[in-house]
A and B are shown apart, each in its own frame.
Chain A
Amino acid sequence: MAKLNMVKALNLALMQEMERDPDVLVIGEDVGVDGGVFRVTEDLHRTYGSKRVIDSPLAEAGIIGASIGMALYGLKPVCEIQFSGFAFQCFHQIENHAARYRNRSQGRFHVPMVIRMPYGGGVRALEHHSESEEQFYAHIPGLKMVIPSGPRNARALLAAAIRDPDPVVFFEHKALYHAHKEDVPDESETMEIGRARVVREGDDLTLVAWGGMLRVAREAAETLEQEDGVGSDVIDLLTVAPLDRETIVRSVNKTGRVVIVHEAPRSFGPGAEIAASIMDGAFLSLEAPIARVTAHDVPFPGFAREKANVPDVARVVAAARDTLAY
C-alpha cells in the first residue's frame, strides 16, 4: 500500500500491465523519453525500451490508426492523446475503425486498445486544453468510455481497460492528476467497467457525477447535509458508456429527486441520456423534474471566465435546493 496521486497511480497501472503482458505497448506524443506531458508514462521508456514505449510522430490519426493495426495483429496498445481537444484529428479512426472492426469483420478481428486522454478544465489552460467531450465517445457503439475520479479507481480502471478485449476511451481529468493522494494497493487491482459506485448514501436526493465533477457533487452533498439536513446518494459513474442505468434508477427510486452534474456542455450531453434512463426506470418515483448542472452551450470561454462556465459547488447546491423545494 502506498499513498499515490492519480499520475503515480496511473503510472503504476501501466508499469504493472506492461510487466504482466509483453503485448502491452505505450504510444503517443512525448510519452517516451519525456514521460508524457503530465508524466503519466514516466520511466516506462527506461524500463521497457523504445520498441514498447513509442515516441510517435506528431499525428493523432497516425497514432490511433497504427495502434488499431497493432491491435488487429494481437498487441494491446495504450495510446496517449496529449489533450482530448486534439482527438478530433483522430476521431475518424476511433469512430470509423476502432469501434467497428469487430462488427465489420463479424468477430474475426477485435481491437483491444486503450485511448487515454487528459480532459477537463480548471487548470488555467488554453483553448482545446480545457474541454470535456465524453459525450462524443459515449455515443459510439462499440466503444467504452471510462472516467475515473481518483487515484485508486484510476489505477484499477486503467488496468481493466487494458485487459478489456474492446476499445476503451479513458479520460483523465487534468485537475485530478495532483489533487489528492489515496492508498493504492501494491498488488495489481482491477475494477469492473460498466459499474457505477454509490460513494455516499442518503434518502432525499441523488447526485450523479463523474471525473472532475465528483468532488463538486460530494462537496455539495456535504453542504446540503450540514446546512439543510438533506441526505444524498452520490453516484460516481466511473463508466459513462455502457451506462450503469440500474444503479442510477435504483437510487432515484429511493430518493425521487436527482441532480446530474457534468462538465460537458448541456445540450445532448450525457445528462440527457441519464435523464432519459430515469424516465424509463423511475418515472413514477420522481418528486421533481430531473435537474442538470452542466457547462453552458458555449465554446470554452477562456480561463478568465471558466469559473462561470464549469459547474461548482454553489451551482449544484442551488439546483439541489430548487429540486428539493419543488
Chain B
Amino acid sequence: MPRTVLEPRFQVEYLSVLDAEGSLDSALDPGLPPAELKRLYRAMLLGRRLDERMVRLQRQGRIGTFAPIKGQEASQLGSVAVLRPTDWMVPSFRETAAMIWRGWPIEKLLLFFAGHLEGGQPAPDQRDLPITIPVSTQLPHAVGLAYAAQYREDDVIVMAYFGDGATSEGDFHEALNFAGVWHVPVVFVCQNNQWAISVPLKKQTNSKTIAQKALAYGLPGIQVDGNDVLAVYAASREAVARARAGDGPTLIECVTYRLGVHTTADDPTKYRSAEEVAEWERRDPLTRFAAYLKRKRLLDEGLEAAVDEEIAAAVARFEATGVADPLVMFDHVYAELPPDLKAQREALAEGLRSGEPGRREKHEPSPPMRGQRSGKR
C-alpha cells in the first residue's frame, strides 16, 4: 500500500499584463478596442476623484463614515466591465467604482453614506444587490442568485465582491462549497488589499494565496495583479465566459492595496508603515494605465476636469435632496404593515405633527374606561 501523490496536482496561476511602467505583455493583451480602454480609464479616474471628494465630504460632516477605494480601481473596473446589464452584481461595502459602472447614480451612493435608506434602493431594472456590511455574508446570496438563474435557464451570471479578510469567514467557505457542488454560474472576486482594518494578510491566513482556496472546493482559482486593469479584465472575461458556458464558478484573487484609510473612522498609521504605502503608490493602477494609454495616444485632454464636473453636479443633486421623512422607516418592513406597526407609525406621525414625539402609541381596542369593566368579578 504505497503512499502516492493524488492526481490531479493542483496549480494556481498568476496573471499580469501591464507592468508598473505601463508596458504591455502583448501575448496576454485582452485586445480591448480603444473606446473600451478609454471608458475604463475614465471610470477609474472618476472612482479616484469621487473617492477624494467623498473623504472631504465626510470630513465636512456632509456624509457619514464610508470605505474609500483608492488603489483598488483596477480590481473593481477590470472585473465589473465584463458583465452584461442582465447579469447580477453582488457588492460588499467598498465597490463604489464598480457600482457606478453598474449604473448607480453618484448622488444615490452619497445619499446612502449620508444615512438615507433611499440610497440603497437599486433601480427597478437593475440587477444589483445593495451594499452589504456584514463581511462575507453576501456570498451565499450570490450563489443562490446563480442557482435561481440556472433553475430558470436564464442566460445570466453573478459576480460577487469581497475582501481578503472576508475569506476567513465561514460564509465565504460555505458559499464556495455550495457553488462548487451546485456548479452554478458565479464569479467570486476577492479584492485582496492586504489589510482587514489593522490585520495584515499573514495574520488572516496561512495560505500562500487566496486563489488556492478555490481548489479545495473543486473550482478554479486564479491570482491576478489587481492593480493591472487589463489583467483583471482578462481573468474576469475568462471566468465569466466559463460561467456562461455552464462550466461553473471561479475565484479570482486581485492582488491590490488599500492606499487610503479602512474607513473614514480609521487611522492606518497605527498599524502600517509609510514605506509600505509608498511602495504600493509606485504601483498605482491609474498611473500605470495612464502611461499605457498615453503611449497609445488614447489619453484625452481635459478628462480630469470633465470627471470633476460630473462629480460636482452629482454632489449638487445630492445636496438638493429634501429632509428625510421619518415615517419612511415603516414603509418597507413588510409587504403590509401589521397592526402593531401601524399603531407605532401613527403614534410617531402624531408626535411629529404635534411636536410631542414621545407620546405613547394607541392600542386597539382601547382600554375600557375606569368603572366600565366588561368582565365579571
A positions within 8 Å CB-CB of B = 25, 51, 56-57, 59, 61-62, 64-75, 77, 92-93, 96-97, 101-110, 141-142, 144, 164-166, 194, 203, 242-243, 245-246, 249-250, 253-256, 277, 280-285, 287
Contact = CB atoms under 8 A, between A and B. Distances in A.
Contact of B333 (A71, A109, A141, A255): A141
Contacts of B149: 73
B375 interface: yes
B145 A70 contact: yes
Contacts of A242: 338-341
A31 to B, nearest CB: 15
B contact patch SS:
loop
**Size class of the B contact interface (CB-based, 8 Å):** 35 or more
B335 A110 contact: yes
Interface stretch (B129-137, B203-211, B262-270, B319-327): B129-137
B151 A102 contact: no
Contact of B171 (A65, A243, A249): A65
Contacts of B331: 106-107
A142 B370 contact: no
A181 B335 CA distance: 34
B121 A107 contact: yes
Nearest to B139: A65
A286 to B, nearest CB: 9
Contacts of A141: 333
A81 B375 CA distance: 44
A285 B171 contact: no
Interface in B127-153: 129-130, 132, 134, 137, 139-149, 151-152
A contact patch SS:
helix
Q: Which of A72, A74, A255, A256 has the most CB of B within 10 A?
A: A72
Contacts of A245: 339-340, 363
Interface of B: 117-118, 120-124, 126, 129-130, 132, 134, 137, 139-149, 151-152, 170-171, 174-175, 177-178, 181, 331-335, 338-341, 363-370, 372-377
Contact of A96 (B134, B334, B335, B364): B134
A253 B365 CA distance: 10
Nearest to B371: A284
B340 A253 contact: no
Given A66-B178, A72-B129, A93-B140, A283 B367 contact: yes
Contact of A72 (B126, B145, B177, B369): B145
